[in-house]
Amino acid sequence: MNAIADRYRVRADAFERKIAAVEAGQWENQSPCEEWNARDVVEHIIDMHGAMLRPFGRALGPAPSLLDDPLGAFRAARADVEAILGDPVLAATEQETPSGKLTAEQHIDQVASADMIIHGWDLARATGQDDTIDPEEVARMWPEAQAIPEQMRIPGAFGPGIVVFGPEVKVPEDAPLQDRLLGLMGRNPNA
């Protein structure tokens, strides 16, 4: 495996553990994402995994229902993406993305894989789990978060109903780096 596939696996493992820890009565809990509950957060991650397959004319394969088995639904989507990452030809295939031309593995790394970090925090926060993000992930994401273009904060800029990042939440400059990252990502770490 390469560094991107390894990073994806670590992030997917962490997200999967968060899903597994959600209790049956917590799926309707409000998440930090204004319009989403805990189940919606997982649905978004699964949908983004599906988006990574579209350039190959593929769709998510058969999976358990998100309503009945969120963990099984995520595991199925994960397997579909890992099949792309595990195929050297597909992983290296270039495609047009909203961020320009990227290989499939670069696109997965920047979107589906990175999404699991912040949305893992959302899921943890919604369900009362430990919401600490790995400090190495925070440090890795910090430079890019500081350079988020304003266009990425405009609802619908990439299509109807698509919101990439919410408005920045101001966080004190002396706050922990995780809190400052979350603020840049449109989350209130103190809510």
**Of 98, 113, 131, which residue is a domain's last?**
131
108-113's contacts with Cβ under 8 Å and 24+ in sequence apart are 108/4, 108/8, 108/52, 108/81, 108/84, 109/4, 109/7, 109/8, 111/48, 111/51, 111/52, 112/8, 112/45, 112/48, 112/49, 112/51, 112/52, 112/81, 113/4, 113/7, 113/8, 113/11, 113/12
Backbone φ and ψ of 149, nearest 5°: -70, 145
For 169-182, write each residue's pLDDT tens digit. 999 999 999 999 99
Co-location of 117 and 139 in the same domain? no
Whichever domain contains 106, its CATH number is 1.20.120.450
**Of 131, 150, 167, which residue is a domain's last?**
131
The whole-number pLDDT of residue 100 equals: 84
Co-location of 65 and 17 in the same domain? yes
161 falls in which pLDDT band (50, 70, 90)? Answer: low
Co-location of 34 and 116 in the same domain? yes
Co-location of 108 and 51 in the same domain? yes
How high does pLDDT run on average in the chain?
92
Co-location of 76 and 156 in the same domain? no
pLDDT at residue 163 tops 70: no
Co-location of 113 and 41 in the same domain? yes
The whole-number pLDDT of residue 153 equals: 73
Domain count for the chain, please give it: 2
Co-location of 18 and 78 in the same domain? yes
For 97-154, write each residue's pLDDT tens digit. 877 899 999 999 999 999 999 999 999 999 999 999 999 999 999 999 998 887 777 7
The whole-number pLDDT of residue 167 equals: 85
158 falls in which pLDDT band (50, 70, 90)? Answer: low
Co-location of 112 and 191 in the same domain? no
Provide the whole-model pTM. Answer: 0.93
**Which comes out higher in pLDDT, residue 56 or 25?**
25
Domain containing 67 equals 3-131
**Of 131, 151, 171, which residue is a domain's last?**
131
The whole-number pLDDT of residue 97 equals: 83
Co-location of 151 and 105 in the same domain? no
Around Cβ 96, how many Cβ atoms within 10 Å? 10
Co-location of 11 and 77 in the same domain? yes
pLDDT at residue 160 tops 90: no
Co-location of 48 and 77 in the same domain? yes
Co-location of 122 and 148 in the same domain? no
